[in-house]
Amino acid sequence: FLRHLILAAIEEFPHIPVCMHQDHGTSPDVCQRSIQLGFSSVMMDGSLGEDGKTPTDYEYNVRVTQQTVAMAHACGVSVEGELGCLGSLETGMAGEEDGIGAEGVLDHSQMLTDPEEAADFVKKTQVDALAIAIGTSHGAYKFTKPPTGDVLAIDRIKEIHKRIPNTHLVMHGSSSVPQEWLAIINQYGGDIKETYGVPVEEIVEGIKHGVRKVNIDTDLRLASTGAMRRLMAQNPSEFDPRKFFGETVKAMRDVCIA
């Protein structure tokens, strides 16, 4: 169903390049099924086991990623790998969301991609893109205060890029968590605790050093939630969901454009 929606969008807007990407595949079999369904890009997240929760060892990650690359490249499909686990350098907690991600406490070595290991990984697997761990995590609760270099390791991106300058780097968990949307949500009955995301200027710095894909979702969720809460509060007699959803789509579009 989703595939046909995307294909319809491609037909409607042929001038806009679209990639249908499968995120956080937990096994080569999952990636194979996505390729069969027409995905043009897949991610083999071998940093975690097939349960999507248990951190694996380096050899396992290399092996399953190699298998996925061999299969995908034969079909003209690109592959993103991952080295390191998403998690907070501030709290030491892993970054799980929507059933994918390590759980509990991790040590810093698990939450920071080693530059030399990254170079070896790319050489052995031939991935097209590499998701790296630099202290970001899924969801809204990333940092308790505006992040500094000790909890958001942008310098690690620079070190990795020096060793693999021709590999596209990927930043996961990189929503900026717009403070204005947090304020709107809470103003209209929400209860989102104080939290901060990845500053846009740090994302720009990453792009200067090899980052070519930035995963953002929370910002859209916050904008959608804030827009709907505000509209419902300001129009208590309104009951047409089309008006609510129209407002949320506009809010999310504005976030993307900004």
Question: Which residues are annotated as catalytic?
Answer: 23
Q: How far apart are CA 6 and CA 67, in angstroms?
A: 27
Q: Which residues pair with 214 in a beta bridge?
A: 171
* Residue from 9, 6, 4 nearest 21 by CA: 6
215-231 burial code (b ≥16 CB/10 A, e <16): bbbbbbebbbbbbbbbb
Please report the beta strands in the chain, taking only residues with DSSP state E, as ranges in sequence order.
21-25, 41-44, 78-83, 129-132, 168-171, 211-214
Q: Could you give the CA distance from residue 242 to residue 248 in angstroms, rounded to a whole number?
A: 10
CA–CA distances in Å: residue 8 to residues 2, 11, 256? 10, 5, 21
